[in-house]
Structure 1
């Protein structure tokens, strides 16, 4: 039987150092200090970018990349090789993309690091995503949704069946929302199965399945098998094609609660996307319970209120992010409109009459209560 060496890898101990100097000669010490800094500052991704004469390191904080350090080419090559060794990748392969993971530990808490290498014109580019395992603490009530939309969401997830679609671009918080829902629904009496590509976080008590497209193990193939595993709740990382969309809708119509994501600009566009896949409008109208489109916006610092450029508690006047959303909770009127109408015009008119608030409208509320700025709303919510 083949051993899973992932769980046997040496765990990197992350230690706090007293030195402020980031020009460390020892590569492992630099990696330690960089990761320690990243944990403290809430960095989500670390970018190592090979350029013609040097290697630039940037960190993403609250969705924005910030330059951290620039090194000479020689140090940069050694640094990337050390990351490959930690990740158990082929240090001699620089022509093809490579992906891997390694683990770290900080103050008794294990942290996963997902690593991606890709060749560029001046050498390799590496991105490390930091996956702090505090998923069990995720709560729908703390993501930033307004009370009316939060009530709609709870109403949809309390049902035993139906398809819940979460839409938005990459980095809009869709995965965080899905995991928060799973946390809420996770109890002894239900069988929850997730199909992910990749699996970002390990969830206690959840059956998680990793897609492996290179051997034909894609979303639709796994989903067919999962339906024979007596699931109550199914999480599908993303709907990418007709086959996955059709099976997901059929599952929602046969007594399963299905959670998934779709890359669309707003909630109404999700319906158009499914129709574009070739899905029957009756199945769309019957299977979907809720469609939510969302974005993440930076929050104004509560210490300096965005007015002190030297504030040590924030980054450029912002600290943390929260979601802005628009939600369509399906009812009989909406289902009838979808099956009877050949366009979305009547649906838009119906939603407008029934106090549906768009992303921008919900964003303006956050400007009024000084959660964020108008510039942030325009940047993230203009569609």
Structure 2
């Protein structure tokens, strides 16, 4: 895929213009939105525009050419109304060139608008926009609803309303139809989607003088809130505090914003509840989501660059009784990809992992509770295999980063591409290694075990220990005998918070108290405990970052026989310990003794 990194003319941030969303200012000549400041470059200098298009890749030039050839005004109106995105219009135009079908019918067939709404927009195409306005051309009810003073200030006039079964549209004459801020304000005031038309500034002002006395237009401060700046501050604030997730959650009285930092959620200063609508609208616009559909979950992702670091934002929206909740996973692409030797495996564990990856077949399971770094381990393995001569194919949901020499594909159930469909397709390509980011059901579990007899299969599961991972696969529907034959390695991991080295100090705890906290007498004896008292370097939390600990189970023949006869997780773990397994519990206690983490982390992880 092409990549075209440019510097925003407005905020000077760098972003990939190919991946960025098109603006809807002028559907026949759109520009790209900067993901930092949410500004397109329609208002940039001619020199900036000239340089952008001079060096633009063929992908962008082809898309612009297609848009400029549009003869049907319908597509332009639909983009201005935010009913379809420029990208969706481009796809429909491409389809139209192949089939010869009418554009409107193609958009209806694709579910982008209803037949009723198509009729409304066909009517809208014939709206007269005169050089001199009179009452017969203006919707005076909407004029008073918007506020005549505001209309004069922004040089706009409501022309006509069009009501559908599920949503309504307002045709709006504007001296500057590219003013998206004003369009969004009018949309909020009227509760309708705005379709901007060009209206002569002098003609608009002349008509409005009948409704606003001389000197009557005042500055309406409440309409000038910088919602794009609020969104920008929420995202950059999370990145600067090294948050892994952003959660924006409305309730009856507040719009709550929380950051997940080192696995713990912290509430941060949140915007006012009255700003909820425009803030969520700006976020969804940035994520290329359907702006006006809040009834179904949506997902998207985008890449941005901040202070020489590249970040991927995986954005999810889902219905909430008080609006919509937005969750954003922040992935630092500059540090996410690591070598297998850098993720925290001991020398012995690393050797077992490499041997399993280098084998001709076998099932490798990566497991841990949610948000405990399994994706980092998966990608470290992919990176290790990318330098081999093996054919490696993946089924991921989602793809976090692209790795050279790895054939990666993203699951999309809405298009009929699920894990079992992907597996059945991949196996016909004779891969050496298959990666699976999840094992969702019995059919996939059984298929994975069967395929592992022919090639290496690496799959991820949510589980609390290596032994319970094996039992979970059995409970999903794979037979004990199949698991026993296929299994090569199980890695279970946990991320534990690291004591801040700048404020760490010894914090002795008596053996009797340690025993009451869940340790055995042998574990409590002589254990050194530490704590961070908080300092500027760790934002006075006492912790800075997290470290990974692992338990790696490599089954021998005796353990395989236990698995085949359906042994419990406890029985499997005891057999693995006799075979040399060092459990997560022991690893964590070792990190406590070294002063790298705290006894509170041990209790929280419930080893």
| TM-score when normalising by structure 1 | 0.88
Matches within 5 A, 1:60-99: 60-99=260-299
For 1:337 and 1:130, locate their aligned partners in 2 and report how far apart those are by CA, in whole Å.
41
Change (3 A) 1:217 1:35: same
Q: Which residue of 1 aligns with 2:487?
A: 288
Query: Which of the pair has the greater relative contact order for Cα pairs under 8 Å at 6+ separation?
Result: 1
Q: Which residue of 2 aligns with 1:40?
A: 240
Gaps of 5+ in 2: 1-16, 22-31, 38-223, 505-530
Gaps of 5+ in 1: 16-23
The answer to whether residue 598 in structure 2 is matched with residue 373 in structure 1 is yes
Structure whose CA Rg is larger: 2
The answer to whether residue 337 in structure 2 is matched with residue 337 in structure 1 is no
Deviation at residue 282 of structure 1 after TM alignment: 2.3
For 2:260 and 2:567, locate their aligned partners in 1 and report how far apart those are by CA, in whole Å.
43
Change (3 A) 1:277 1:48: closer
Change (3 A) 1:230 1:303: same
Q: Which residue of 1 aligns with 2:323?
A: 123
For 2:341 and 2:478, locate their aligned partners in 1 and report how far apart those are by CA, in whole Å.
33
Number of equivalenced pairs: 369
The answer to whether residue 268 in structure 2 is matched with residue 268 in structure 1 is no
Q: Which residue of 2 aligns with 1:213?
A: 413
For 2:603 and 2:353, locate their aligned partners in 1 and report how far apart those are by CA, in whole Å.
25
Larger helix percent: 2
Change (3 A) 1:11 1:112: farther
Matches within 5 A, 1:19-168: 25-107=225-307, 109-134=309-334, 137-168=337-368
For 2:331 and 2:312, locate their aligned partners in 1 and report how far apart those are by CA, in whole Å.
5
| Aligned 8 A contact 1:101 1:112 in 2 | yes
| Aligned 8 A contact 1:359 1:381 in 2 | no
Q: Which moved more, 1:113-122 or 1:366-375?
A: 113-122
Deviation at residue 371 of structure 1 after TM alignment: 1.1
Q: Which moved more, 1:307-316 or 1:271-280?
A: 307-316
Q: Which moved more, 1:43-52 or 1:5-14?
A: 5-14
| Aligned 8 A contact 1:294 1:324 in 2 | yes
Deviation at residue 376 of structure 1 after TM alignment: 0.4
Q: Which moved more, 1:223-232 or 1:306-315?
A: 306-315
For 1:307 and 1:262, locate their aligned partners in 2 and report how far apart those are by CA, in whole Å.
33
For 1:201 and 1:44, locate their aligned partners in 2 and report how far apart those are by CA, in whole Å.
16
Q: Cα RMSD over matched residues? A: 2.4
Structure 2 SS opposite 1:134:
helix
2:581 paired residue among 351, 356, 361 = 356
Q: Which moved more, 1:69-78 or 1:32-41?
A: 32-41
For 1:309 and 1:348, locate their aligned partners in 2 and report how far apart those are by CA, in whole Å.
38
Q: Which residue of 1 aligns with 2:19?
A: 7
Structure 1 moving runs of 4+ over 6 Å: none
| Aligned 8 A contact 1:11 1:104 in 2 | no
2:476 paired residue among 277, 282, 285 = 277
| Aligned 8 A contact 1:11 1:102 in 2 | no
Deviation at residue 104 of structure 1 after TM alignment: 1.8
